[in-house]
Every structure is written in C-alpha cells, then in structure tokens.
Amino acid sequence: MDGCERTALGAEWMREKLPEQISIIPSVKGANLDERTICEQVVGKLQPDMLAVGYTEYSAVSNGEQSITEHLEAVARETAEKPVLLLGSASPDLLSQLPDNVVASTQEPHNLLWRRQSEIRKSYRDLEAEVREALGYRHDGEETETGGEK
C-alpha cells in the first residue's frame, strides 16, 4: 500500500473513531492525478471544510516553490477550490505566491526555541501579521479588498 492509500484510509478511520464534533482535515498527497484521486475521493466522502497539503517534500528540491504552486493549482481544480491548510511552511514570501485556495498554514517554530518568552510572543505576532497579509487578510481577520489576490 502506498502513501496515498494509507493517507486516505487513515482519514476514513479517524472519521469513524472520532466524535462528529471533531473535524477531520484530510491530507491530499500525490505527484499525479491518479495518486491524488485516491485522497480526493475521501475528501468527497468526508466533505470537510478544508483539506491539508504538505510542503515538506517540496522544500528540499531546487524548484520547490514552483512545484508546490503547480500541485496546489491542480488540487484546486480537482476539489472545486476547496480551502487548503499548507503544512510545513508559514513563509509569507511563499504564501503570497500560492493560489487563493491556500487559506492557512502551519510550521514548526524551531527557530524560536532559544529566545526569551517575550521575544517569542513578539516574533509570533510579527509572523502572524506577515502571514495574514500574505494570505490576503487584514489584522482583524477580515479579507482585504484584494481578497488575497496573489
């Protein structure tokens, strides 16, 4: 069984085991349509509010930003523009270049571990503001007039 099948089965298994009040955000993996279709079929069954796409495998290659952009554009076409949580990068530079269906991101804050708590709070506030701007949101949570045009 490959990674796409394991991911799809895992999302279905979690949906069966967890209470309905808990939302499942299924991950869409796959380098091509045939692979992604396995995960996207589960998205169709579960009808989640959003789905997740990982950036890690793209970050190590020389054209990673172009590759993740192309992947996200394909996922948008194949899932009727379902909102996406990007896993593995909260870079405002990257987020500002991604398709509009990318509405949230997350990244392990390993670069903040050595800082004092007050510095960490400021760093998070600054990063949050940059990410919101890159995703097209004002600081109060409303969309900007550009609506996140990238």
Q: What is the pLDDT of residues 38-87, one digit of tens each?
A: 999 999 999 999 999 999 877 776 777 888 999 999 999 999 999 999 99
Q: Is residue 138 over pLDDT 60?
A: no
Relative to beta strand 84-87, strand 102-106 is: parallel
- Among residues 134, 135, 95, 89, the alpha carbon closest in space to that of 109 is found at 89
| Domain ranges within the chain, ordered by starting residue | 3-108
16-25 pLDDT per residue, tens? 999 999 999 9
Residues listed for the chain: 150
pLDDT of residue 100: 93
Written as one letter, the residue type at 34 is: D
> Which is more confidently placed, 103 or 141?
103
* 75, HSE (Cβ side, Cα atoms, 13 Å): 33
Any idea which fold 3-108 has? TIM Barrel (3.20.20)
Strand partners, 49: none
pLDDT of residue 149: 44
Q: Give the sheet arrangement for strand 84-87, strand by strand.
A: 51-54, 84-87, 102-106
Residues whose CB is less than 8 angstroms from the CB of residue 58 and which lie 6 or more positions away in sequence, other chains included? 64, 65, 67, 68, 71
Tokens in use for 59? 């970050």
- pLDDT tens for each residue of 76-125: 999 999 999 999 888 899 999 999 999 999 886 555 555 566 776 787 78
What pLDDT sits at residue 143? 61
